[in-house]
Amino acid sequence: MLPASLLALLFVFFGVVVAAADLYKALELSKHATEQDIRKAYKRLSRKYHPDKNKDSDAEEKFVEIAHAYEVLSDDNKRRIYDQYGEEGLRAHEGGQQHYANPFDVFSSFFGGGFGAQQTRRGPNSVFDIEVPLADMYAGASIEFTMKKNILCDHCRGSGAASDRDVHTCRGCGGSGVKVSKQQIFPGMFAQTQSTCNECGGRGTVIVKNCPHCSGKKVVEYMQPFTLEIQPGMPEGHEVVLEGEGDESPDWEAGDIILRVRSKKEQGGWRRKESSLYWRETIGVDEALLGFRRNLTHLDGHVVDLHRKAVTQPAYVQVIEGEGMPVFEQSARGNLYIEYNVILPVELGPTMRRKLEDAFYGPPNRRDEL
């Protein structure tokens, strides 16, 4: 990997390459992407290709390209010019010579720090249980949902101040974040103690005018849209990790959102145990004795043929191979188990009773002989 000092100059040497690139493609977005789509894409890709984390040979170049794309597309005016006239239009707008921001400055401004020794601490992970229909875990699905989270204020970028001029060095600690005090133990000897500055809270700076958008809180609430990809055969309790999508703060790197996926419990419906599926089918006494043929609509809509010629005892279980759950990330499938529930009539009419007596015991004259 190139040293950081050299990498910081890459945006100059790769200027021609970046200029020819599709900025939307660099962020893996369409031209209809929203502001939040652009922000989310930069967050994901800049972390993925940061040279301190990614050791691939092309990571440095990708990191520069992603930073430039975000710099342009996150600025409404630059994006409008780029959409109409492309990179040539941007160069003309900037006096014939387009300027490229230092990719590390873009990254630091976005995250409030970088990877490495000076990296801020990592924020907490958030764990949520989410229930989906069993049919989605059988066939797979894409489920869109929204979740409330804190994001850095777009106006102050997490500083909490109305402008950069409103952030002053703390007079109480001189910007160090700590106060040093001396206490005399006995004549001629002093003890020196160090404590967090009570005026700035250890930050070294104070805000004289709060940001009007977040009221100095540095973050604002936002309903973040997500897409949960359910893979066929996903195990119960499987954890899907949305990396870096936890609450944002200038004091930490955002943690993860962890989704524990389970199927909804439904009364009297399909039941699952690992890769096996269970279904309870109710039949009449005539079908139990004489046999039957029925169609069972499976979870994905295809039809399973239930066919019995022999006598079916109550609670009999029929095994249909290969009609169970898909085995997660494999091509195999489990089995389907059909448990039969035989319903007897509540009462018998005279005609039905006579027919059953004839069937089980023979005609009346034969019964008299017996």
| H/E stretch holding 72 | helix 59-73
**CA-to-CA separations, 328 to 32, 132, 157, 253, 275, in angstroms, rounded:** 35, 16, 42, 32, 8
Q: What is the DSSP string of 206-233?
A: EESSB-TTTTT-SEEEEEEEEEEEEPTT
Our measurement of the distance from residue 117's CA atom to the centroid of its chain's CA atoms, rounded to an integer in Å, reads 28
Q: What tokens appear for 363 in the block?
A: 């005609």
Position 119, amino acid: Q
Taking the C-alpha atoms of residue 364 and residue 370, their distance in angstroms, rounded to an integer, is: 10
Cα–Cα nearest to 220, from 286, 174, 157, 137 = 157
CB atoms under 10 Å from CB of 126, counted, come to 16
- 266-370 under CATH 2.60.260.20, yes or no: yes
Residues ≥6 apart with Cβ < 8 Å to 359: none
Please tell me the distance from the alpha carbon of residue 248 to that of residue 158, in angstroms, as a whole number: 9
- The conformation of residue 346, written as its DSSP 8-state character, comes to S
The CA distance from 152 to 297, in Å, is 49
At the topology level, CATH places domain 126-154+214-263 in HSP40/DNAj peptide-binding domain (2.60.260)
Q: List Cα–Cα distances, 242 to 44, 227, 229, in angstroms.
A: 10, 10, 11
Residue range(s) in the chain whose domain bears CATH number 2.60.260.20: 126-154+214-263, 266-370
Provide the residue-wise pLDDT of the chain in tens; the chain has 370 residues. 445 444 444 444 444 444 445 888 888 888 888 887 888 888 888 888 888 887 888 888 888 888 888 888 888 888 888 888 877 777 776 665 556 677 777 777 676 544 443 445 778 888 999 999 999 999 999 999 888 988 888 888 778 888 888 888 888 888 888 887 777 666 767 677 778 888 787 778 888 888 888 888 888 888 888 889 999 999 999 999 888 888 888 777 788 889 999 998 877 788 999 999 999 988 888 888 888 899 999 998 899 999 988 888 888 999 999 999 999 988 899 999 999 988 888 887 888 778 777 777 777 666 555 4
End-to-end CA distance of the chain: 100
> Measured between alpha carbons, how far is 197 from 177 in angstroms, rounded to an integer?
5
Per the listing, tokens 């805000």 go with: 207
The CATH topology of domain 4-118 is Helix Hairpins (1.10.287)
Task: At 17, list the tokens.
Answer: 């390459």
Residues of the chain with CATH 1.10.287.110: 4-118
